[in-house]
Structure 1
Amino acid sequence: MKPKIVSWNVRGLNEYNKRSRIKNLLREWRADIVCLQETKLKLVTRKIVRSVWHCPYVDWVYLASNGASGGILVMWDKKVVMKIEEFIGEYMVAVSLKMVEDNFLWAFAGIYRLNDDNIRHHLWEELAGVHSWWDLPWCIGGDFNIIRFPSERSGDSRLQPAMTEFSDCIFDLNLVDLPLIGGPFTWSNSQTWSRLDRFLISPEGECQYPEVSQRRLPRICSDHFPILLDGGGIQSRRRYFKFENMWLKSEGFVERVRQWWSSYQFNGTPYILAGKLKALKEDLKLWNSQSFGDLGEQKKNMMEELQVLERINEGRSLTTKERSRKAELTSELERVLSLEEISWRQKSRALWLKEGDRSTKFFHRVANSHRRNNTIEILNINGRECNEAPVIREHVLNFFRTAIYKKRGLEAKSGWTGI
C-alpha cells in the first residue's frame, strides 16, 4: 500500500459543525494519515477525534494549544500504519511508523509555527534534533509560516534571510521539496497569496514511493488550502447495491415500489423472486439517480469550479459576479457536505458496514519523480483552462508543429540550412 497524507491548517476545531464538514472532506480524500494544525484545543479526546475523522481504527497524538492559538493533531489508520515511538515538541508532533503491509519503517512530523521571524530558528533546531533522533526516512508536513522564494508570495520580489534559513535547513537535513500540483499558493486572505504549507521528504522515501506527489486540495472553512501527499497507485473495488434509509422519506416511495413489483413478469418458479429483486434493484438505482442525484459528483464539480475561481483570484481580483458565484458555491458545497454526512450517519448504523469494509480506491497517479517537473496538469488554451490530457497533448503537438513549420519557412527564405 502507498500511503496518502493530508496536511491542513484548519484554524480551529472547536465548532461541531466545522468538524463535521472536515470529517466529510477527509472521507472524500481517503487519507491514511491526517495532520491538522492550529486546532486551538488544549485537550483532544476520542470523542473529538471520532467527530473529525470517520476511520474506525484511528490512533492519534497531539500537541495542546497555547491558549487560544496553535495546536497540532496527527491521526492515522492503524490498519495501514503502526506507531513505534512518538515525540511531542514545542512546534511539532513526530511519530516513527511501520507500514503494516510491508513493514517499511519511516517517520512523520507535523509542523506548525507562529509567524515570528525572531524565534523561527527554534523550529529549525527542534526539527534538526528530532531528525537525528530516528535514523529513518522522513516525511515532514504542515504550516511552516514561511516561504522559500519570493515567487511563493504574490507581489514579493525580495529574498529575505528567513527564506534562506528555511532553504538551508532543508539542505542540511537532506530533504526533497516536491513541486505543488494544483496551484502555487496554499494560503490567502483574498489580497495576499503565499505558499506557507508543504511536505518535505527524504530521498529514501522517494525511492520507496517513486510516484509520490503533493497536490493542493479545494479550500473551504479555512484560509489555508489542504495539501495531499499521495504515494501513488490505484486500488478499486466494485460498488455493490445498498438500500438507503433516506428513500423511505420520499413521498410515495412505498407505493412506487409496490407498482414496480407488480409489473414484473418472470417465468420459471425457482427464479421468479431473484428476477424480481434484480429488476427492482435497477429501477431503484435509476430512480435514486433521478430523484436525489449523485452527491459525490455534485461535490466534485463544485470543488473543481471553486478551484478555478481560486486560481483566477491568485492573478487578479474577482469581479462582483465571480465573488457572488464563489459565495454561492461555498454555501452549496457546505449543504452537500451536510447531506453526505447525514447519509453516512445512516450507513454507519447499517449492517452492511462491517469491519474492514472500507473503500481503498486511490486517485489516479500523477507523475513519478522523473516526470514530475514536466507534467502539465492544467493548460490555458484560447482563454479556457483545460485539464483533459488528450486535448493538452494535441495542443502542445500542434504548437511545436507550427513553430517548426515557421522556422523551416524562414530558413528556406534566407537560404540557411539547419541540422
Structure 2
Amino acid sequence: MRITTWNVRGLSTPDKRCLVKRSLIKLGSDMVLLQETKLCGDKVLEFIKYCFKWEGLFQDARGTSGGLGILWNSEVFEVDPIASNEFWMACNIKCKVGGIGFPLVNIYGPVTIDEKLRVWLEIYDQLQVLEKHKVIMAGDFNTILDIDDKDGGLRKSTKVMEDFREFISKCQVMDVIPQNGKFTWTNRRFNFSKNFERFDRFFVGEWWVNGSFSIDTNIIPQVGLKHLPVMLSINHESPKNRFYFKFQSMWWRDPSFTELLRIWWLESNTFLGSPSFWFVKRL
C-alpha cells in the first residue's frame, strides 16, 4: 500500500495538472493527498475526470488559496468521507484486498498561531470518535516538530513547536522519518537567503507500529518545486522475518546492568506517541 502526500501549490494550469498526472503514474501510488489545490466548483470536477480511473474527494479552495483533495485508485480502496473543512479532511479507508480499514486525515496546516491551535484541537476531537490507534495523518503541517527540522531562514517560534509536539503526543501517533533526505520544502533561494524545512510528513497510530507491518517514507525528488511529495509505503511482514526482543536472565549477573539500564532508558526518551509505543521503541 502506497500513499503520497503532496502540496502541489495549484492545479489550475494545464501544465501543473499534466505534471501531477505524470507523477502519479511514475510513483505507482495507490492514493494521493493533495494540499493547496487552489481548485473549487467545476474545476474540481474537471480535474477528477482528468485523473483516469481514479476517484476523488475535494474541499474547495478559499478564492485563490488553499484547497484539499484525496485521490485514490478505485481498484484498491473504498473511501467513506467523515468530515472536512478548509484545513483538514477525515475519511474512513478500506482496502479491497485484505479488508484492512483505518481512518485517514489529510491536513493543510494554517499559518497563524491561533488558527493552528484551533485546527489541532479540531483534529484531536475528531480522532476521539474514530479508531485513532489505526489513524494515518499526513499533509503539509506548515509547522516543524523540532529546530533540527529546519536549515536556514529566521528562527521558529518555540511556542508553535511545543504546541505541535503536544498535539502529536495527545493524538498518540508516531512520526515516520524519511529514509532518504530530511527536508520537504525550500524557498528556492540561494546563498544566505536559502531555507529548508520539513513541513510535509506522515504520522501513524500505534496499531501500524505494533502490528505485522513494515513502514517507511521516502521524499520524492521533483525539479523546480517548493514542496516535495512524500510517499508512505506499508507492507505486511512475514512473521518469520520479524525479530522479537528477548530478555536474557544472565544480564542480571553483571553488577553494572541495573545502572546502565536506567541510563539507557532515560537517554532514549525522545519518541513521540503513546506510552506503549515509547516502551516498544526503548526495547
The interval holding the TM-score normalised by the smaller chain is: 0.7 to 0.9
Give the aligned partner of residue 205 of structure 1.
208
Residue deviations 1:274-294, cap 9 Å, x none?
A: xxxxxxxxxxxxxxxxxxxxx
Q: 2:113 aligns with which of 102, 117, 122?
A: 117
Letter in 2 for 1:143: D
1:231 counterpart SS class: strand
Is 2:141 the partner of 1:144? Answer: yes
Residue 180 (structure 1) aligned to one of 178, 181, 193: 178
Contact 2:60 2:86 in 1 (8 A): no
- Corresponding position of 1:10: 8
Larger relative contact order (Cα-Cα within 8 Å, sequence gap ≥ 6) = 2
Measure the CA separation in 1 of the matches of 2:212 and 2:49. Answer: 30
Which amino acid is 2:145 matched to? R
User: Contact between 1:213 and 1:232, CA under 8 Å: does it hold in 2?
Assistant: no
Q: Distance in 1 between matches of 2:100 and 2:164?
A: 29
TM-score normalized by structure 2? 0.76
Q: Please report how far the alpha carbon of residue 193 of structure 1 lies from its aligned counterpart in structure 2 after TM superposition.
A: 0.5
Aligned-pair CA distance for 1:232: 3.3
Structure having the higher Rg: 1
* 1:8–1:369 Cα change, 3 Å: farther
Structure 2 match to 1:196: 199
User: What is the rounded CA distance, in whole Å, between the counterparts of 2:243 and 2:72 in structure 1?
Assistant: 25
Structure 2 contact 3–231 (Cα < 8 Å) conserved: yes
Gaps of 5+ in 2: 189-193, 245-283
Unaligned runs of at least 5 residues, structure 1: 235-366, 371-419
1:162 deviation in Å?
A: 0.7
In the TM superposition, residue 183 of structure 1 has moved relative to its aligned partner by 1.1
Q: Which residue of 1 is the match for residue 222 of structure 2?
A: 219
What secondary structure does 2:213 align onto?
coil
Q: Taking structure 1 as reference, are residues 205 and 50 closer, same or farther at Cα in structure 2, changes over 3 Å only?
A: farther
Aligned-partner residue type, residue 46 of structure 2? K
**Which amino acid letter does the alignment assign opposite residue 4 of structure 2?**
V
Distance in 2, matches of 1:19 and 1:67, equals 19
2: distance between equivalents of 1:25 and 1:132?
35
Fraction of identical pairs, as percent: 24
- Cα distance in 1, alignment partners of residues 180 and 101 from structure 2: 30
3-state secondary structure, aligned to 2:111: coil
1-side partners of 2:143 and 2:113: how far apart? 9
How far apart in 2 are the matches of 1:60 and 1:369?
39
Matched-pair contact (CA < 8 Å) for 2:91–2:104: yes
Distance 2:243 2:48 in 1: 34
The question of 1:99 aligning with 2:95 is answered: yes
| Contact 1:80 1:99 (8 Å CA) reproduced | yes
Task: Give 1:31 deviation, angstroms.
Answer: 0.7
Higher normalized strand content (fraction of residues): 2
* 8 A contact 2:213–2:236 mirrored in 1: no
Q: Secondary structure at the match of 1:167?
A: helix
Number of aligned residue pairs: 233
The SS at the match of 1:13 is coil
CA distance in structure 2 between the partners assigned to 1:134 and 1:176 by the alignment: 17
Task: State the distance in 1 between where 2:88 and 2:223 align.
Answer: 24
Correspondence list, 1:221-240, <5 A: 221-232=224-235
Match of 2:250 in 1: none
Runs of 4+ in 1 over 4 A off after TM superposition: 156-159, 367-370
Aligned match of 1:406:
none
Whether the 8 Å contact between 2:90 and 2:106 is mirrored in structure 1 is yes
* 1:209–1:231 CA contact under 8 A, matched in 2: no
Deviation at 1:221, TM superposition (A): 4.9
Q: Determine the structure 2 residue equivalent to 1:50.
A: 49
- How far does the alpha carbon of each residue in 1:342-362 deviate from its partner, in whole angstroms, 9 at most, with x for none? xxxxxxxxxxxxxxxxxxxxx
> What CA distance in whole angstroms lies between the structure 2 residues aligned with 1:119 and 1:369?
43
Contact residue 10 and residue 38 of structure 2 kept, 8 A = yes
> Aligned pair in 2 of structure 1 residues 140, 17: CA closer, same or farther (>3 Å)?
same
Cα shift at 1:90: 3.4
Whether the 8 Å contact between 1:212 and 1:368 is mirrored in structure 2 is no
Structure 1 residues 206 and 369, CA gap change in structure 2 (3 angstroms):
farther
Query: Using a 3 Å threshold, how does the CA distance of structure 1 residues 33 and 368 change in structure 2: closer, same or farther?
Result: farther
Q: CA deviation at 1:135?
A: 2.2
CA separation in 2, counterparts of 1:82 and 1:161?
39
Task: Work out whether residues 144 and 196 of structure 1, in 8 Å CA contact, stay in contact via their aligned partners in 2.
Answer: yes
User: In the alignment, what sits opposite 1:130?
Assistant: 126
Name the counterpart of 2:269: none
Preserved CA contact (<8 Å) 2:61 2:86: no
Separation in structure 2 between the aligned mates of residue 25 and residue 368 of structure 1, nearest angstrom? 33
